[in-house]
Amino acid sequence: MTKKRIKCLLMYGVAALVLSIPWPSFSADISNDDCMQCHSDEGLSRTESEGIKEKVYVDQNAFNYSMHNINGIKCVDCHEDITELNMDAELPHSAVLAPAQCAKCHAEENEAYQNSVHRKAKGKGVSIPCYSCHEYHYVTKLDSDSVFERENRFCLKCHNPNNSHDWLPQKEAHFAYVECSVCHAPAAAKRINLRFYDLIQQKFLNADDILAALKTDTKGFMPLIDIDKDGIINPDEFDNMVFLFRQANLRGTFHAELVVEMSPSVHQINRGGAQGDCNQCHEPTSPFFQDITFYLRTKDDRLVTNQVDRKVLETYNLNHFYALGGTRVRLLDMIGILIFLGGLGVAAAHLTIRILTIPLRQRRKEQEHHS
Amino acid sequence: MTIDETKMLYVHPAPVRVWHWVNAAGFILLILTGLQLRYPEIFPFMSLQDAVTIHNYVGFVVIGNYFLWVAYYFGTLKIRIYIPNLITFIPAAIRQALFYGYGIFKGDPNPHHMTPDHKFNAMQQSAYLFLMVLLLPVQMITGLFLWDVQYFQDYIQVFGGIKIIDSVHVLIFFFFAAFMCIHCYLATLGHTPFAHFKAMFTGYEEHH
């Protein structure tokens, strides 16, 4: 066998092997740019059966920042019934497309969703598919989002929390600092996010601002702050961090919020399943106060998380965060107990001396009586 | 001294007695529910939610009751019984402190003689004035802020944040808890252990 024949056989073999692999139905032929030739037109719409017009415009800038695009997911990976585009036709693909099958990639999330009030609503004639909450094309990372951003983009689109929380003490404070899912998806892991609010610029500083002021970068931040190198910022290190911030002319406060980890169980929200027992949260050993993160969000939406010791919650560095049971200043307790025991002790000591000196007063009374 | 020599003095008018006992009951409930709120893992009196509800309602009752005290004492100008005489205050306070700290054990007579217009001794005057004009209003205002932290957030920011407000509220809470112990104990120093308690119900102090 000649070298040429061997080479030829190898090439055919490789080609046959590649073709025989059960590739997922990703259509490599149709690129996002092909789709955007039409869908970047802001006026593009389709007419529903009832005559209602629905926009089918896709904001490419927003899509570029979506998690799907960042992870290399293409339009036709979700719209998988589009296998070819006939650019000569007025409509290059079928007018009616099958719904995107999110569950094919998000199986765990789907499983949790199947056992949720949002899925069960279908039995009552209300359909709440994934994109009702997550939007069609602009799914972004939520990790670094504030409670305000998370709630506005999800729950508050449909729910008015004021309608059903009158029983809740400090209702408005809970809405402002606690994400809905913290109580409504009890199985989801929780954490407290700390962010730095600059009082001079009156805005939350992102990672770039803070790191530039400290003359370091994302990799250098923790080694600068975490003096004992245990990977956690303890109260002393936090004090030192505040001092470094002041030296760098960063003057502000730390804003704390209670949010859920982005885990599949977040989707398992059920009627009557919310955490309604205040003691579950407002207690020093509550899991709600165990995971504390000081996070830095870069301008390109990357997240740098830094673990913080829960004892930092009990310090005056977090003057603007207070949750009964969870943020108690221990020194204050000790001072308070001393004050109380002081009062009790003075009364007890005085009473004891009064009892011990009864004979003295009796003798004096008798002497006065005799005289 | 015989019973005939006992003189009854009307020193606690009805509005003062109502204010005093409402305040006392309010303080006890606020201290108990306050302990429950601050130490939920230690005190098993009630659920946190019930403690919050009771603490809030009772707090407003005590605030309303404070205005009864203000209306009565300022309306009748009897507030002057709380104002120390700057000339006699220091020697009178020393005399009173010596009595409580030493003379009382020997059986010395109390240097202060209670009358309706001169109800408090020098130490009581300064203590109650401090309490009613400074501590209680500060406690009421910080309590009001903590009742709805979102509504009062601008004021809370002015004072340095919610943890500062809470710390002030908690420190005064401990002070009031200590005050209650001393106050109740001192009330037993009448001619009988319950004489002052009885007077606070009837309005009449027995003057011997």
Q: Same domain for A36 and A152? A: no
Interface predicted TM-score of the whole assembly (ipTM), two decimals: 0.90
Q: Same domain for A61 and A195? A: no
What distance in Å separates residue A164's CA from the closest CA in chain B?
Answer: 16
**Long-range contacts: A143-152, Cβ < 8 Å, 24+?**
A143/A262, A143/A295, A143/A303, A144/A295, A144/A297, A144/A301, A144/A303, A146/A193, A146/A195, A146/A204, A146/A257, A147/A176, A147/A177, A147/A178, A147/A179, A147/A257, A147/A258, A147/A259, A148/A176, A150/A179, A150/A259, A151/A175, A151/A179, A151/A180
Q: Same domain for A80 and A213? A: no
Does B106 touch chain A if contact means CB atoms closer than 8 Å? Answer: yes
Which amino acid type is present at position A178? V
Range of the domain at A357: 333-370
Residue B1, classed as helix, strand or coil, is: coil
Q: pLDDT tens digit string along A248-267?
A: 999 999 999 999 888 888 89
Does B151 touch chain A if contact means CB atoms closer than 8 Å? Answer: yes
Chain B residues touching residue A355 (CB < 8 angstroms): none
Name the band, by pLDDT with cuts 50, 70 and 90, for residue B26.
very high
* Amino acid B123: pLDDT: 94
Quick check: A85 pLDDT over 90? no
Contact (CB<8Å) B107/A320: no
Contact (CB<8Å) B163/A351: no
Dist. CA A75–CA B71, nearest whole Å: 74
**Domain end marker among A90, A117, A137:** A90
Does B108 touch chain A if contact means CB atoms closer than 8 Å? Answer: no
Does B2 touch chain A if contact means CB atoms closer than 8 Å? Answer: no
* Amino acid B3: pLDDT: 45
* Amino acid A13: pLDDT: 63
Range of the domain at B154: 3-207
DSSP E strands in chain B: the ranges are 7-10, 204-207
Establish how many alpha carbons lie within 13 A of residue B115's alpha carbon, considering only the half-sphere containing its beta carbon. Answer: 4
Q: What is the mean pLDDT of chain A?
A: 86
* Amino acid A26: pLDDT: 44
Q: pLDDT tens digit string along A216-249?
A: 988 899 999 999 999 999 999 999 999 999 999 9
What distance in Å separates residue B74's CA from the closest CA in chain A?
Answer: 30
* Amino acid A3: pLDDT: 62
Q: Same domain for A278 and A161? A: yes
How many structural domains comprise chain B? 1
The answer as to whether A3 is a domain residue is: no
Contact (CB<8Å) B170/A336: yes
What distance in Å separates residue A264's CA from the closest CA in chain B?
Answer: 30
Picking from A322, A353, A367, A369 by the largest number of B CB atoms within 10 A of its own CB, the best residue to mutate is A322
Does B158 touch chain A if contact means CB atoms closer than 8 Å? Answer: no
Contact (CB<8Å) A340/B178: yes
CATH number of the structural domain spanning residue B16? 1.20.950.20
Chain A residues touching residue B170 (CB < 8 angstroms): 332, 336
What is the average pLDDT across A41-53? 81
Does B98 touch chain A if contact means CB atoms closer than 8 Å? Answer: no
DSSP structure class, residue B118: B
Burial (0-12, 13-18, 19+ Cβ within 10 Å), A11: exposed
What distance in Å separates residue A294's CA from the closest CA in chain B?
Answer: 19
The answer as to whether A286 is a domain residue is: yes
Q: Same domain for A205 and A298? A: yes
Q: Same domain for A227 and A270? A: yes
Smallest Cβ distance to A340: which of B100, B160, B177?
B177
How many structural domains comprise chain A? 3
Q: Same domain for A190 and A289? A: yes
